[in-house]
Structure formats: C-alpha cells, structure tokens
Amino acid sequence: MTSIRSYRPEDRSAMFDICLKTAKAGTDATGVFSDDDLWGLLFAVPYVERHPDLAWIVEADDGRAIGYIVATDDTDEFERWFRDEWWPQFAARFPRPENPESPEEKMIEYGYRRGPGQNPNTGHYPAHLHIDLLPETQGQGLGRRLIETLFAELRRRGVKGLHLGMDPANKGAAAFYERLGMERLPAEAGGQSYGERFTTGE
C-alpha cells in the first residue's frame, strides 16, 4: 500500500533520482546536463537539509521512495541560507560561467543568482514548495494528499501563505494547481506561479 511519511536522511539519494526523473516539465531529464545532480542540488536536497520537518515522502509498498514534497516556511531566509551556506559548497563542481549561454550554464548561473528579496510574492506568500511524483504515482490522489499535509503544517505554524513556480510546459501540473483552487500569481517571463493564502492578516 502506497503511503506518505516524513522524510528520513536515508531518502537523500532518492531525492536526487526523483528530481532528475521529473525535471524536464515532469519527464526524465537524465543526460540533459553534464552532471545529473545539478537538478537535485538546486530544487530538492537543499530543502531537506534546511527543513527536514517540512518534507514528506511517498513510499511504495516495496519501500521505495517514489515522490516527495519539500518546502520552506520563509522564502527570503531560505534563499539567504542557500546563497551564503548551501551553494558555495559546490563552487568548484559548478564554476560560475562568465557568459551563460547554454541551458546548463544558465541553470548554474541561477544557483549563483539566488538570494533574498527577489520574489515579488513573498510578502503575502512567504512559503514555497517543490513537489515531484514519479509517473507510477499518478491517479492515486497522492499529490493532493502531499499538498494537504504541507498546508496543514503551514497553517499550524501561522504562515500567511505559500507560492510556487513552475515550468509552463508542464500543463498537467498547472491543471493540478488550478484544480486545488490555487490562484495565479505574477511570474517572471518564461515562468508560471501559483499561490495559496492561509491567513488574511498583514
């Protein structure tokens, strides 16, 4: 029976794999970059390093991790930590490109550009999430259950709201967020964002 449970440190390697297998607008991105770990180092693993208490795993009946949701309850603080503590660990592995042109160089540059105060939605939507599910999880309501689990915890903490960004090419994800009733938010060119308010106070 597929189940949802809290993240455990031994799930770390599975986080890399799930992130990679879903990184190309929900499909497998293996081999897109010269180092497959780049996806996980940007979009999955730092969250469980910083906020293991805001990470849940979908576990198959054979014990495999086949999906996850990760989040931060304070985007600006998370991005400050990412800039100052997380990403510098990988400077030798991913040198900053002088003139980023290729998709891989632009993704590496994104890692260097991250920092607090960059997202216009954090005032009302200070939390953000990443959710990835392998194809075998589809049609079981697991994405909704992961979202509901995270939202309940953020409400318990008194967080005002949450935003997320996504690749507009992932039409299935967009439809999923709209079915959940999340509202469309301003996004950078080439991106798409949704949000959910938990409290109405300022």
- Domain of residue 38 covers 3-197
Across 170-194, average pLDDT: 90
176 within domain boundaries: yes
The pTM of the full predicted model, rounded to 2 decimals, is 0.93
Across 9-22, average pLDDT: 97
161 within domain boundaries: yes
161-166 and 3-6: which strand pairing?
unpaired
Residue 136 has pLDDT above 60, yes or no: yes
Mean pLDDT of the chain: 94
125 within domain boundaries: yes
50 within domain boundaries: yes
Domain count, the chain: 1
170 within domain boundaries: yes
Whole-number percent of the chain with pLDDT over 90:
85
75 within domain boundaries: yes
Tallying the residues shown for the chain, one arrives at 202
Q: Are 133 and 142 in contact (CB under 8 A)?
A: yes
Query: What local confidence, expressed as pLDDT, does residue 186 receive?
Result: 87
